[in-house]
Structure 1
Amino acid sequence: MREILSFNNVSFTYTPEKEDARKAVQNVSFSINEGEWISIVGHNGSGKSTMVKIISGLLFPQEGEVRVMSNVLTEENLWETRSQIGMVFQNPDNQFVGATVQDDVAFALENNGVPYEDMVERVHHSLKQVKMDKFLNHEPHHLSGGQKQRVAIAGALAMRPKILILDEATAMLDPQGRDEVLQTVSTLREDIGLTVLSITHDVEEALLADRILFMNDGKKYAEGTPEEIFALGDKLIEFGLELPFAMRMTKLLKSNGVELVGEHMTEEELVNDLWTSNFNK
């Protein structure tokens, strides 16, 4: 698997002129391989948003380097690099510029001079990938939150990026909309090998990742699989991160005398354990 994105000892401060300035990102290193799903989690002020701005070239690190597709990100290759990255942001209503769904998906393609016939094919194909092809001529403001985010994902996919970044993309959605978006991204990853980087407060979303980067005070506090990160338990709570529902419920049940085996990351694991324990009795 080839490396698609990496931070190498990256540091950034918004006030470099001050000697004692706090670093928003401090000596952070990590890498993402093609086809992986990586989640970056942490409380407000932990450095997540600054990292997204650095990846997209809105900010450049004062120390260290960022590589995209093995190339160091610079002002000279910024626009070429951005074409490799698709972004989906928090508020779906702020992303629409077209009068209809297909107009919106076509907007970036037109701006990049994609030929008309190719543009039409890309619009239809990307909307089909997110199961929104039946909404071609719908007005975006008539869609649900989940549908709007799926259209936003289609717009990103139409540009054929190497990596899709979800920047708190499910934060403003109801549970159904959240599930729609995450299921869409999971399916795309399986079908086309899409590389995903999600910035999130949602621990249930983070559970879908191959690896989690836990940020605290601008530093990478921990990196590992979801099981390894959430095994930190009370330390995560201390730093303002909630544990998954199944883990919280497991602790509550155990504290009330219910016999359970180990910790449970998902509700399915918890239900199976409860069922097995009850059946054996």
Structure 2
Amino acid sequence: MKEILSLDHVSYTYESDETNPRKAIDDVSFTVRDGEWIAIVGHNGSGKSTLAKLMIGLLFPEEGEVNVFLEQLNADTLWSIRSKMGIVFQNPDNQFVGSTVQDDVAFSLENNGVPFEEMVPRVYDSLAQVKMEGFLNHEPHHLSGGQKQRVAIAGALAMQPKLLILDEATSMLDPQGRDEVIRVVDDLKRTTGLTVLSITHDLEEVLRADRVIVMNKGKLMMTGKPEEIFAHGEELEAIGLDLPFAYRVSKSLREHGVQLQGEHMTEEELVNELWTSHFNK
């Protein structure tokens, strides 16, 4: 798989005041490859939000390099690189500019000079990908939180990006809205091979990721597959991260003598084993 994005010994310091500079990112290196879903997690102040800003060019590193699509991200390459990215932020209301759903999705296409005859099918197709094609003429502020984020994702997809970055995109949603968005992103990744990078503090969300990067105090603390990361449950809890509900329940059941086959990452896995092994007899 080809390299999509990489950080090479990146550091960044916020000059909060002259006597007490704060190193938000401290010598961080990692690579994202084509078709992967990478989740970056960490508690508040861990550096993950600063990483997001560095990866989309809102900040530039004081040390090291950020490379996107094999180009170094800097002031000269910023706009050409960003045109190949789709970015969805925390609050969808801050991203809406159109009076209807279709107007909003079309906005970035118009700004980039896409001809009208090409724009119309791209707007519809991108909304269909997030299952919102039935809302073309709805006003965005009348949608639910999950629907708003799906429209925001459609707006990003309309630009046909090579990389989709979700910056705390589910943090303001209720459980139903969060599930809607995660399911949509998972479907997109499976059906289109889209590369996804999600910055989050929600460990339930990372269960869908191929790899997880854990940040702590500006440093890369650990990286691996979700099951490898959750095997370090006590270390994650020590830095203020909550473990997935199913993982905590299965651990508690084993501590109370219930025989289970390993750790369970999802509630469905746990319920299925409890039903087949303990109740369906």
Both structures adopt the same fold (TM-score exceeding 0.5): yes
1:118 corresponds to:
118
CA deviation after TM superposition for structure 1 residue 44, in Å: 0.3
Unaligned runs of 5+ in 2: none
Distance 2:106 2:158 in 1: 8
Distance 2:74 2:43 in 1: 29
AA aligned to 2:217 is D
AA aligned to 2:77 is N
Distance 1:142 1:99 in 2: 11
1:24-103 aligned within 5 A: 24-103=24-103
**Does structure 1 residue 236 correspond to structure 2 residue 245?**
no
1:122-137 aligned within 5 A: 122-137=122-137
CA deviation after TM superposition for structure 1 residue 91, in Å: 1.1
Unaligned runs of 5+ in 1: none
Cα pair distance change 1:66/1:143, threshold 3 Å: same
SS at match of 2:8: strand
SS at match of 1:203: coil
Cα deviations by residue, 1:202-230 (Å, 9 ceiling, x for unpaired): 11101110000000000000000001111
2:187 corresponds to:
187
User: How many residue pairs were aligned?
Assistant: 281
Distance 2:197 2:123 in 1: 23
**Does structure 1 residue 226 correspond to structure 2 residue 215?**
no
Distance 1:105 1:125 in 2: 11
1:145 corresponds to:
145
Cα pair distance change 1:280/1:100, threshold 3 Å: closer
Distance 2:257 2:161 in 1: 51
AA aligned to 2:105 is V
**Does structure 1 residue 262 correspond to structure 2 residue 247?**
no
AA aligned to 1:30 is F
SS at match of 1:177: helix
CA deviation after TM superposition for structure 1 residue 23, in Å: 1.0
CA deviation after TM superposition for structure 1 residue 86, in Å: 0.7
Identity over aligned residues, as a percent? 67
Cα deviations by residue, 1:155-206 (Å, 9 ceiling, x for unpaired): 0001111110111111111122111111111111111111100011111101
Cα pair distance change 1:258/1:110, threshold 3 Å: same
Cα deviations by residue, 1:80-139 (Å, 9 ceiling, x for unpaired): 011111111111111111000011001111111111111112111111111111111110
Moved over 6 A (4+): none
SS at match of 1:206: helix
SS at match of 2:177: helix
SS at match of 2:153: helix
Distance 2:265 2:197 in 1: 21
AA aligned to 2:40 is I
Distance 1:144 1:134 in 2: 14
Distance 2:53 2:106 in 1: 24
CA deviation after TM superposition for structure 1 residue 17, in Å: 8.4
CA deviation after TM superposition for structure 1 residue 276, in Å: 4.2
Distance 1:68 1:25 in 2: 18
Q: Which moved further from structure 2: 46-55 or 113-122? A: 113-122
AA aligned to 1:166 is L
AA aligned to 1:59 is L
The RMSD of aligned alpha carbons is: 1.6
Distance 2:266 2:69 in 1: 34
CA deviation after TM superposition for structure 1 residue 251, in Å: 2.0
Q: Could you tell me the TM-score, scaled by structure 1's length?
A: 0.96
CA deviation after TM superposition for structure 1 residue 269, in Å: 2.5
AA aligned to 2:252 is L
Q: Could you tell me the TM-score, scaled by structure 2's length?
A: 0.96
**Does structure 1 residue 213 correspond to structure 2 residue 213?**
yes
Distance 1:221 1:153 in 2: 30
CA deviation after TM superposition for structure 1 residue 279, in Å: 5.8
1:9 corresponds to:
9
